[in-house]
A and B are shown apart, each in its own frame.
Chain A
């Protein structure tokens, strides 16, 4: 076994009456990737924040290379050799400055740095750092012009200038395409081989399978499972994290009903191949593809947010060309958008108001709202989706991420419709919430057509009756989720990506 870089013992942390960390004992070894798993609210983020000096611990000790670590601020932690790359890339880089300045920023901020900038030296050193991690880029370019993966690499490279003992990565792949993620993994493997201890937080099965040397599971502020026997028992880890097993999604294939939505020679961007596609009643169709493959664009067109270049859409046989979300909703086409924080949640509104927002006309006589009817509908949704809350009057902000997502999905399940489109409905939720949401989508699927846009193959396989692959804004494959040739699907997803996909992705 490798030698220990960081040793955490008896760590506790409470916010008010809320005990978040409850005696954490954890060792992180040099040259090893430790994946930290945990459902939302298990305490992962708090643990990271205590380690990297954002929050002080209530009790317990952190030892770095055998010596006690007393980092009261993030910058002290960085100087001690604990470096964190946060989930949001832009927290780690300054988009307006060039790559060289970004890479050397912490050095410049260190006490004792010279007063005047020495551009040539900075650039030379920055090039060295960049080369050492395989970042091939002109160091004089502003970071804001780089694509997501390169920006992420810059953030990591910046971390590397401190020669870290421990590198903490918080969901680094959540906004990367598969190809970009692959570059990141390659880099992390090289770092691991140089002896850096890596603590990697992620929900993504593919990341974990690819990288993990060891899995540590958290639940309710405690470490509930450690897995380091190869091959890693992923099932058991999920079991430990959730408190129950991850059963195979039970897919009962339903016969497809009538055609609800027909896309006829629909060209969604100039120059793209036209799409011909029928979406049937009772069926759950997963549309998958890389970031930038046209999923979001298609969803926007179906919901009246954007207009197609050419072609036709027919809804239940009648021409369908919505000019606004309002018109789409009136025709019974609903969209549960991706990224609930910016597109779905009404902050400072209670659960009821968040659920009923699109359907207020139905809860009002004249223009006066019937609050009782609203509350009834909200309670029904809360019960149906098993949402953890005090009452339908709770502020949406008091809910965990998974439950917020359930509210967003529940909003659109609260009314019957012809076509329900869910764009990345499993984004940023733990596996339990993902299961709950998936089950509800299936349970209610009868009587409407359902489209789920998702890029994670796990999610697609779990939810779909039928899988449509998009690449380059056109259909690349159409499969029943029966006996599926997964390799073919993946080839279709990635196949077009070989051409020039990273470019489109960065434009996203």
Chain B
């Protein structure tokens, strides 16, 4: 078994070397192995892939990989944990130098990640804890995401209000955002949670809108809704519009997309602020952290990509209509100063 694997490794390496001969040499002054970046092969092994967030993450990975000039392979397990583990083995067999594990289940990925390390492959993990000190964790800080949004809510509304909260337990990022909500509630006794609701029935926005309508009707005193996921916020906004309560209710959320920007900027929109990490920036950071590992540098055990607060007022003032414009007008959203050694070329903007 081991012999075959080594043989495959050798073969694959040979093919990669051949390919490198044709590829243009990108950056001569980069450290090894990037002095011949075309020969470096990395793999992205994904658990989740459908949806705007994951599309944007992938494009960040792709553009940073292209900027460095490495050969990127994408494996997509489509929420099949066992398949994802198999795909790590495939990547090993393919002779890659580094692997980014994007989401997944701890139990399934732990052993696979270890096998990759044993094969001498560098590994970073995004949003999945493989419980391995040799593998840096890339994170968008969900706690901070929630915290920033709530701080803005307190800034706008004072520390005494009645809230509706949208939450579905058991989804890791939502659970981490929930911690921020619990902390803020404990610190501000004036904030009352009148109703908690939420569902992941798709289309999520439609299902949440139905629930929010009932909740607003049962609790007409609600002035703030904390909906720490943009699909939730979208649903609540529909319900608020339909109930004619746009003047009364403010929505604070997390995540952002072009469609979200349009919804926030609708005249009189109740969706006043969201906090987001740019998923393509997270993708870029993932690749850069992996590159540092390959060059023998240490990105640190936890690489946290800080979130950015985006308010309705900022969008309106700057006339922002989509993600590209948001990146242009808000540099801290377009780029994160995380894992940025001088030798790594950044993607063009």
- Is chain B in direct contact with chain A in the complex (CB below 8 A)? no
Seen from chain A, the residues whose Cβ lies within 8 Å of a Cβ on chain B are: none
Seen from chain B, the residues whose Cβ lies within 8 Å of a Cβ on chain A are: none
